Structure 1
Amino acid sequence: MAEVLAAKRAVVFARELSFFEVLIKGDCLRIVQALQASNRCYTLYGHIIDETKRLACLLRRCHFQHVKRDGNRLAHDLARRAALAADTDVWVEDLPSDLDVVFQSDVT
């Protein structure tokens, strides 16, 4: 359930920042496949999938892509940090210094 809520929040966040073309990556294959599917989702979380797809259609281009967890290490570490934090932190230009090493290893 957390993965589908994160995908929905990513779409909402993209709209809030006026991003019109986005690629949202996730490591839960089942969720990504449901978001990519053209038909309705009839799972327990299907209403969130359907709402996320509706919101994604409001963007010029929104793609959902599956990546293995080890291929998305920075996002995984950021999500872990967000789950432990009481406040919402947004980094637009600079990452926290302790995650810069993870970012550099993802880039290379």
Structure 2
Amino acid sequence: MAAWGIWERRNRVREGQKTWGPEMVMHRASKLLQEYRDVQSMNPRMAVRSMDLRWKPPDSGVYKVNFDGALFLEQRCASLGVVVRDSVGLVMAALSQRVRHPGSADVAEALAARRAICFAQELNLHNVVIEGDSLKIIQAITDTRLVQTLYGHVIDEIRLISSSFICNFLHVNQKSNKLAHALARRAILSADTDVWIEELPRDLEDVV
């Protein structure tokens, strides 16, 4: 825990991000270790998973694309959030898009996945990992069987586009996907689509 705390602080300082003082490293290490022990005492199988809640950078030469969809029932619309990061965690591009209400949360997630793969294609990326927190959508994409749902045609399009380059789809928990989620929620402020290249709006810097 101490080694991890030192390493994380070093990365934050290197990237010019907000961080804690050196005197807090051991305090944070002790706190994280106690959290680990508490979870382990309740359910040993959950202990390893509980330590794996943060976003992780991809391998060198690979880009990671996270996506998320959100519904706004009162406004009768949905939103899509996509963020692309490199192997050291730097944001290469981000997108926040408002769309018409698609009818369900699953369809919104499928549309967000399609926007993610299209965004990667537009950025001319050739080796990507696509991550989302909707298990149903990730399973539908990676399964070879025909998807007979309202979003089946969207899944077919995702499979077709992703076949043109190296692309892997992974399911992650919501905490690992929180930046894409924040971008999706931010789309309610937009009339259509906002795109950022090698930067993020300031209100999302703390999420990173």
TM, length-normalised to structure 1: 0.87
For the pair 1:92 / 2:207, whether they are aligned, the reply is no
For the pair 1:48 / 2:154, whether they are aligned, the reply is yes
Residue-by-residue CA offset, 1:63-83 (whole Å, 9 max, x unaligned) = 111111122111100111124
- Measured in 1, the distance between the counterparts of 2:133 and 2:175 equals 9
- Measured in 1, the distance between the counterparts of 2:185 and 2:129 equals 21
5+ residue gaps, structure 2, are 1-106
For the pair 1:81 / 2:189, whether they are aligned, the reply is no
- Measured in 1, the distance between the counterparts of 2:188 and 2:124 equals 25
Task: Show the counterpart of 1:102.
Answer: 207
Give the superposition deviation at 1:98: 1.5
Give the superposition deviation at 1:84: 3.4
CA RMSD of aligned residues (A): 1.2
Amino acid of the structure 1 residue aligned with 2:132: G
Percent identical pairs in the alignment equals: 52
Q: Which has the larger radius of gyration?
A: 2
| More helix as a share of residues | 1
Instruction: Report SS of the residue matched to 2:167.
Output: strand
Give the superposition deviation at 1:41: 1.3
Task: Show the counterpart of 1:106.
Answer: none
- Measured in 2, the distance between the counterparts of 1:84 and 1:68 equals 25
Bigger relative contact order (CA 8 A; separation at least 6): 1
- Measured in 1, the distance between the counterparts of 2:189 and 2:135 equals 24
Instruction: Report SS of the residue matched to 1:90.
Output: strand
- Measured in 2, the distance between the counterparts of 1:84 and 1:97 equals 14
- The number of equivalent residue pairs is 102
| More strand as a share of residues | 2
Residue-by-residue CA offset, 1:19-60 (whole Å, 9 max, x unaligned) = 11111111111000011112221222111101111111012x
For the pair 1:69 / 2:161, whether they are aligned, the reply is no
Instruction: Report SS of the residue matched to 2:164.
Output: coil
Q: Structure 1 80/36 Cα, relative in aligned 2: closer, same or farther at 3 Å? A: same
Q: Structure 1 83/33 Cα, relative in aligned 2: closer, same or farther at 3 Å? A: farther
- Measured in 2, the distance between the counterparts of 1:78 and 1:50 equals 25
